[in-house]
Structure 1
């Protein structure tokens, strides 16, 4: 009987111990699970209001598990009850910082959007005024002065608006760099920034206005070189961010179409710049009645010059000497060496529209042409021969004069000796 009683007591103690161990294990697992849930909630929060609720949940969890602090400290070593909640609170504060920054950026973006819209409207008005003044057949000094002021104002406005739009694009690029893999929350933030700034429309408008500015005004090589640099810088950033935006907007067909349209507009902008630059170079030759084959690249420019020079050499014996020389000097002295080589070629080379090899090839063609039309050696021999004749005449006169003076001098000396 006693034996059975002792056995029963032992069994009860064992069961009680097992139950107690299972209860401790469950408490620790429940604590770990709660911590993980709060971590996920912080990461996936989409507003500051949600983070405020999570902060309350952290305080509630502290109270719920406070009685088991000693058990938890032993079970999750080297972590502890206190360190677990400290980590949660740090994560919470960092996430709050993200949302504070996003709120500030959204406010800034809305302000930028208003400024961009204001500049765009002002630019449209300036373009209209410039077109009206350009239409006037006779331009007095006052009209020219007004036109110059309007162009300067429009140029400054476009540059300012470009910088504002670039600023928004740069901030988006920084977000993509900061978050290489975008979560749903980050996507929503990007959507918000793009929509609040009307970004896609403003990029399109920026490109269109730059193209219209070129058509409405007469730009110098320096102006066009500067615009080309702006294009390269903006296009470089867009090529970095465009594909990323396409991924984010993969499910939104209207936005993916806009992104593709912006890609096409950047191409149009580049072509418009190239056409304007090469067109101005070609115009310099046309103004001197020099008809070159059409060209829109460094290679084509060289081939056009080569074809023209070859044609001139081919017809050298057919044309009069005066006509041949007039064409040569008009091409070289009045156009190429006066404006094209010193002013345009550095800009073209700097913007990868022409190479040093193209320039050297053109110089070689002009040297070949010069050798036929105005050989250096003929001119040199004329001057050398003329100079030699003059020198010989001077020497002869000098010798003749000296011979006349020598006898009389000798006679005078002799007479003086006799007197002595």
Structure 2
């Protein structure tokens, strides 16, 4: 079915993944071995590596990663938590729902998942444990909610998908808004039903406003304090969809805005904290660019060898229904999400499935929403889920207990939202079409 070079590349890639080698180098090494055995030249690898990074979208990703790193260091997360507490703290399960609402807001600041829980777990888990809420439950709720950072714009995975699929960044940002809001709503409902099971009746009761007027006053006061933090996503989205600046320029503006808020509005950003944020950004962005370039080298080689066309032909022979093929794509992506991070999955899968999805007539903005929701769920699916690793370490609880507590959020909310996103294209397409026009989104 495949020639020697292609077969060697695929076997080497799978062996590297199983062996736990750094995936960026596995991408490049597997491709190099296939090119050599296939009689090709290393020029192909060098050209593909360079051109994959020769894009302003890559620079935008760096700025958004930097903005996310500044969230906790500049004091923005604290103000967002206080505002979220004022909004929902009086409701049943409201104190734990604060984590969902805060993640919703912070997703619009970070564009990623791990910065959300890295900032919120130290802030919320000890405080809520004092009020009688189980440490493992609060951590599970925050870890499950963390991929709202992928769905609420701006989104780093959405930008990577656009880079690979050649779609509008603005359209992809909008396509995941309603899936993200559905996810947050579903988590709030499930939290309302489950929270009593993880709450101690003898716990200290937090002080809450006793009248409606006092509650409104608290919301207004905390909202005013949080306004500089909340102004960042508003500035980005108004700027992008108002035609003031491009999505790529928005990343730089977001980074500058967070710096100014940290320095002058909240006055919590010090040189030491700035150095920490920069160090975190360099590490994260270096890993991202290696994955992006190495993955592009591999997928371009496989595409040139005809693997994408063979995958499309095989799927069309196995299944005649577009809906069945989409279901199998979801199952495949969820399986990969159990072992790989979202960015490698996007880099590896998107170029291979594009010919098939185009032949089936799947709208590529809709496909982007499906892909982003899938890789978001991968953040919380064991055994190798980044949110579980980070959450268990920060909360000092076992990964096994955390995973068990997260499963209801996975099966009762995340998977249903994924299926709704997959089989009801209007959830992801009508908002971008409304704001950007059918010529940008295409037929769905």
Greater fraction of residues in helix: 1
Alignment TM class, shorter chain as reference: under 0.3
Larger Rg: 1
TM-score by length of 2: 0.21
What is the TM-score normalised by the length of structure 1?
0.22
